[in-house]
């Protein structure tokens, strides 16, 4: 198989990809499930804050930009299996394709992200200095979750924490678990002149932290759906590009990474090696810039 236009394949592990993309839970709901044993140490469900650093907006925690790119060094724990490392690297590749962010293997840099396999899915917000953990534990190795935590590390809080959120959603405090009201705090945010994004991978789902199966968040736009499981939205990408002044990419939002989905199935006998018979169909997910096209050649 060969591809032109240099758009990377987002997932290359076909059987595991099928399982991941049939998961009906939203990104944030999966995160909360994975974090049940550690949520007391987190704010907003997956943001780590130490005793010496409270949950205020970090105004000077961007990763440094050199020339036209922002290099974010990281180290991947040896506790991840090879397929898990591939899944993480594939999720990272979407940032490289659609923003000026470049997650690079650490080669001695002082400030870096240490991606580890601890309990739960969580991250610091922004660059903290020196080593900072980003945990992708059991239940966290899904593209949308990985991207969600990396976006936290780039400096972003959850979408429903925006200071203008009351014009777009209603918080139903009567349905929220006792003691979890703090996770719905409105923050003093810089929204970068980007519209409120119901489809953000950083948005809570309607029933997150619910004590009675009732909605904790209700969109004011009755037609809007909140909480998704696929990955970065166009506005997620736009906000990253605006925060880091990625001028080359600012007006090149990617049309929902991975929305082009091709399933190859055998519907009649074909001349293939016997060792390939009976295998599940492959799923190939690619990204595409708005206004551009992808050419795929199979051979």
Q: What is the tally of helices (H) and strands (E) in the chain? A: 5, 14
Quickly list H helices, the chain: 14-21, 27-34, 82-98, 143-154, 234-243
Residue with tokens 């405090």: 173
Here the tokens at position 217 are: 């968040």
Which residues have a Cβ under 8 Å from the Cβ of 16 and sit 6 or more positions away? Answer: 83, 87
Residue 292 a catalytic site member: no
- Annotated catalytic residue within 39, 44, 84, 149: 149
148 is in an annotated binding site: yes
> Of 84, 145, 144, which is closest to residue 117 (Cα–Cα)?
84
203 is in an annotated binding site: no
152 is in an annotated binding site: yes
Q: Is-contact 54 119, C-beta < 8 A?
A: no
Burial environment of residue 298 by CB neighbours within 10 A (0 to 12, 13 to 18, 19 or more)? exposed
What is the rounded CA–CA span in Å between residue 31 and residue 277?
Answer: 37
Catalytically annotated residues = 149
Annotated binding site for Zn(2+): 148, 152, 158
Annotated binding site: 148, 152, 158
């Amino acid at each position: 198989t060969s591809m032109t236009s240099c758009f990377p394949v987002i997932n290359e592990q076909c059987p595991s990809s099928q399982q991941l993309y049939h998961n009906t839970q939203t990104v944030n709901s999966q995160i909360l499930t994975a974090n049940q044993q550690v949520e007391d140490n987190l704010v907003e469900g997956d943001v780590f804050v130490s005793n010496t650093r409270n949950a205020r907006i970090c105004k000077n925690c961007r990763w440094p930009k050199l020339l036209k790119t922002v290099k974010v060094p990281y180290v991947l724990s040896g506790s991840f299996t090879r397929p898990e490392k591939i899944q993480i690297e594939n999720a990272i590749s979407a940032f490289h394709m659609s923003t000026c962010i470049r997650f690079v293997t650490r080669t001695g840099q002082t400030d870096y992200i240490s991606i580890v396999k601890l309990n739960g899915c969580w991250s610091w917000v922004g660059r903290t200095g020196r080593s900072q953990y980003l945990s992708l534990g059991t239940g966290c190795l899904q593209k949308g979750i990985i991207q969600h935590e990396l976006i936290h590390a780039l400096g972003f809080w959850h979408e429903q924490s925006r200071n203008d959120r009351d014009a777009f959603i209603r918080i139903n405090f009567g349905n929220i678990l006792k003691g979890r009201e703090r996770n719905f705090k409105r923050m003093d945010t810089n929204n970068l002149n980007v519209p409120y994004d119901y489809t953000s991978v950083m948005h809570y789902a309607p029933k997150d932290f619910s004590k009675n199966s009732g909605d904790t968040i209700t969109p004011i736009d009755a037609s809007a759906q909140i909480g998704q499981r696929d990955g970065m939205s166009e506005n997620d990408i736009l906000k990253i590009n605006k925060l880091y002044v990625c001028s080359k990419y600012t007006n090149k939002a990617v049309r929902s990474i991975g929305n082009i989905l091709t399933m190859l199935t055998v519907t009649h006998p074909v001349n293939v090696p016997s060792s390939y018979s009976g295998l599940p169909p492959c799923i190939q997910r690619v990204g595409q810039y708005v206004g551009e096209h992808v050419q795929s050649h199979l051979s």
